[in-house]
C-alpha cells in the first residue's frame, strides 16, 4: 500500500476545511439558483405547446401542392416572420429517406444540399422559434415530378423459386457505377431481408454486377427477399435510379456434396446426415477438375457434350461427342456431375474424365433428383486450378468473409465512401 499523509490541525488544513464548507453550501444552493433563473422573466421559455408556424413559412417552388416539383431543383424554405427563425428541418420521403440541407446563420432560410428523388412524396417538418424563444412547428407535403435523367435499371436474381443454402443473390445494373460514393448510394438501396435474420453483404464483382451472400450458408427452410429502393434517386448528373421488381426466394434443405478427387468418392448429405457415398471419376491430367466450392447452376435431363466446346480439336485422340444423361451443371465452362456409364470400371479408383464428375447411371439419377440449384458441391484434394470466385459460375463461397466484405462499398474495412446523395437509411445488416 502507498503511504498516506496525516492531516494536522494546522492553518492550511483549516483553510481546506473552510473551502469544503463553502463548496457544500454552493452545491446545496445550486439547484435553487437554476430554478430561479429558469423561471425568471428575462429567459426564454423552453416549454409549452408549439405554435403553428406553417403560415409563417415559404416553401418556394414546393409551396403549391397542386403541381409536381422539379426534382433537379433544390428545396428552399424561408421564414416570413421577421421576428422568428428556423431552427431545424426534416424532409422525408415515403420510403423513409431523408435529405440533408444547410441552415443560414440567422435562421431565416434553409436549402437542401442533396438532390430530391424523382416521382416521390415528401413530408417536411420545420421547427421554428419566435423572438420570445417559444417553439413553433410547420408541416408541408409535396410531390416531385419525373426527371429527364436516364434510369439505372436493376435486374435482381435469381428468378423467384426455391434454392439451396448456397445460392447467392445478384443485382445487374444497366449502367457502370465505379465511383465509390455512387457505389455506396446504390448498394445502400439494395435491401435484403431474411427470416430468420442472418448477417450478409453485397460484393461488387465489377462496375455493373453485385453478388450478395450471407456470412455462412442460408439457414435451411428460410425465406429471403430483395428489393431496390433506387427508384427516382439521383445517382449522378444524368442518371437516376429506375424501378425494380421485388424478389422472393425460399431456401430448401441444406444439401451438400463433398467430392474427394484423389480418393474418388463423393459423400452427399442433407441437413448434416449422410445420404449416400458414391464412387466417382473426375478430370484426368491435363483436364483436372477444379478444387473448391461450387453452387449448382442448373440441371439437364439430357445434354450433348462435345470436345470442341472445351477447345479439343475434332478428330484428335481426346475428341468426343456424347449424349449425356442426368447432368447437373457446376460451371459455365462445362463442369457437370453426370452419368458416365463408359467409365464405371474407373469410378472409385481413377480419374479419367475431361473435367466432369462421372458416376453410374443409377447414382447420377439419384444425385440429379436429390439436389437443386443453389446446393453446394465441393471438390477437395485435387491437382488442378482452384474454382474462381466469379466469372465461371458461383464460386462466391471460396472467398473468406473478410475478403468478401472488402468488395462492399458499405462494409469494407475502410468504411463506406461518403455519398453526397445517399439515402440516410442504409440497407439493414442481416
- Phi/psi for 278 (5° steps) reads -120, 130
Closest Cα to residue 350, out of 265, 292, 257? 265
Q: Which residues contact 96 (CB under 8 A, 6 or more apart)?
A: 423, 424, 425
CB neighbours of residue 162 within 10 Å: 14
Gap between the Cα atoms of 141 and 238, Å rounded: 26
Which tens digits make up the pLDDT trace of 321-363?
888 999 999 999 999 999 999 999 999 999 999 999 999 999 9
Under the banding of pLDDT at 50, 70 and 90, the label for residue 413 is: confident
Q: Is residue 241 pLDDT above 70, yes or no?
A: yes
Which grid coordinates are listed for 125?
417538418
What's the alpha-carbon Rg for the chain, to the nearest Å?
33
Got the DSSP string for 189-214?
Answer: TEEEEEES---EEEEEEETTEEEEEE
Gap between the Cα atoms of 325 and 340, Å rounded: 8
Which tens digits make up the pLDDT trace of 261-289?
999 999 999 999 999 999 999 999 999 99
Closest Cα to residue 203, out of 421, 420, 423, 394? 394
Active-site positions read 338, 356
CA 381 → CA 221, 259, 262, distances in Å?
A: 31, 9, 6
Under the banding of pLDDT at 50, 70 and 90, the label for residue 48 is: low
- Phi/psi for 92 (5° steps) reads -130, 140
Whole-prediction pTM: 0.82
Closest Cα to residue 404, out of 222, 196, 216? 216
Under the banding of pLDDT at 50, 70 and 90, the label for residue 16 is: very low
**In this prediction, what percent of the chain has a pLDDT beyond 70?**
85
- Indicate the average pLDDT of the chain: 87
pLDDT at 38: 31
Over residues 87-91, mean pLDDT: 97
Which grid coordinates are listed for 169?
443473390
Check if the beta carbon of residue 329 is closer than 8 Å to that of residue 296: yes
Over residues 105-130, mean pLDDT: 96
CB neighbours of residue 178 within 10 Å: 10
Q: Residue 107 gets which letter from DSSP?
A: S
Gap between the Cα atoms of 342 and 271, Å rounded: 32
Closest Cα to residue 71, out of 133, 107, 2, 121? 121
CA 385 → CA 253, 258, 355, 388, 407, distances in Å?
A: 30, 17, 11, 9, 23
CB neighbours of residue 385 within 10 Å: 11
Closest Cα to residue 121, out of 73, 68, 72? 68
Q: Which residues contact 34 (CB under 8 A, 6 or more apart)?
A: none
pLDDT at 40: 30
Task: Decide which of 184 and 36 is more confident.
Answer: 184
First-residue to last-residue Cα distance in the chain: 52
Report cis status (omega within 30 of 0) of the bond before 157.
no
Gap between the Cα atoms of 407 and 229, Å rounded: 21
pLDDT at 73: 93
Over residues 31-48, mean pLDDT: 37
Closest Cα to residue 136, out of 44, 58, 48, 268? 48
Report cis status (omega within 30 of 0) of the bond before 196.
yes
Q: Locate cell 472467398: which residue?
A: 399
Amino acid at each position: 500500500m502507498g503511504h498516506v499523509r496525516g492531516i494536522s490541525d494546522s492553518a492550511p488544513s483549516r483553510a481546506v476545511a473552510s473551502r469544503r464548507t463553502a463548496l457544500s453550501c454552493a452545491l446545496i444552493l445550486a439547484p435553487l439558483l437554476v430554478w430561479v433563473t429558469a423561471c425568471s422573466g428575462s429567459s426564454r421559455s423552453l416549454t409549452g405547446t408549439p405554435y403553428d408556424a406553417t403560415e409563417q413559412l415559404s416553401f418556394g417552388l414546393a409551396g403549391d401542392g397542386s403541381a409536381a416539383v422539379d426534382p433537379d431543383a433544390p428545396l428552399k424554405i424561408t421564414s416570413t416572420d421577421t421576428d422568428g427563425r428556423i431552427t431545424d428541418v426534416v424532409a422525408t420521403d415515403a420510403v423513409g429517406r431523408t435529405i440533408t440541407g444547410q441552415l443560414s446563420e440567422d435562421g431565416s432560410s434553409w436549402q437542401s444540399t442533396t438532390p430530391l428523388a424523382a416521382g416521390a412524396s415528401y413530408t417536411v417538418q420545420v421547427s421554428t422559434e419566435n423572438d420570445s424563444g417559444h417553439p413553433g412547428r410547420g408541416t408541408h407535403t409535396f410531390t416531385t415530378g419525373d426527371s429527364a435523367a436516364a434510369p439505372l435499371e436493376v435486374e435482381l436474381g435469381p428468378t423467384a423459386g426455391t434454392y439451396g443454402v448456397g445460392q447467392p443473390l445478384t443485382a445487374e445494373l444497366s449502367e457502370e457505377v465505379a465511383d465509390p460514393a455512387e457505389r455506396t448510394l446504390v448498394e445502400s438501396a439494395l435491401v435484403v431481408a431474411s427470416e430468420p435474420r442472418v448477417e450478409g453483404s453485397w460484393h461488387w464483382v465489377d462496375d455493373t454486377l453485385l453478388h450478395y451472400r450471407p456470412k455462412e450458408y442460408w439457414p435451411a427452410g428460410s425465406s429471403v427477399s430483395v428489393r431496390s429502393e433506387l427508384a427516382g434517386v439521383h445517382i449522378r448528373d444524368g442518371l437516376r435510379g429506375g424501378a425494380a421488381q421485388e424478389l422472393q426466394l425460399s431456401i430448401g434443405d441444406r444439401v451438400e456434396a463433398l467430392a474427394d478427387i484423389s480418393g474418388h468418392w463423393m459423400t452427399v448429405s442433407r441437413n448434416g446426415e449422410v445420404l449416400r457415398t458414391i464412387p466417382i471419376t473426375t478430370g484426368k491430367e491435363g483436364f483436372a477438375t477444379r478444387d473448391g466450392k461450387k453452387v449448382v447452376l442448373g440441371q439437364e435431363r439430357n445434354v450433348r457434350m462435345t470436345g470442341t466446346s472445351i477447345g479439343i480439336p475434332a478428330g484428335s485422340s481426346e475428341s468426343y461427342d456424347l449424349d449425356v444423361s442426368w447432368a447437373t451443371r457446376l460451371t459455365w465452362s462445362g463442369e457437370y456431375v453426370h452419368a458416365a456409364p463408359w467409365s464405371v470400371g474407373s469410378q472409385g479408383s481413377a480419374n479419367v474424365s475431361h473435367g466432369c464428375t462421372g458416376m453410374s447411371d443409377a447414382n447420377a439419377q439419384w444425385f440429379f433428383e436429390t439436389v437443386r440449384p443453389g446446393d453446394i458441391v465441393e471438390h477437395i484434394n485435387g491437382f488442378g486450378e482452384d474454382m474462381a470466385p466469379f466469372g465461371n459460375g458461383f464460386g462466391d463461397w471460396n472467398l473468406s468473409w473478410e475478403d468478401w466484405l472488402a468488395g462492399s462499398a458499405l462494409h469494407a474495412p475502410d468504411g463506406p465512401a461518403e455519398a453526397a446523395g445517399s439515402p440516410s437509411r442504409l440497407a439493414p445488416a442481416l
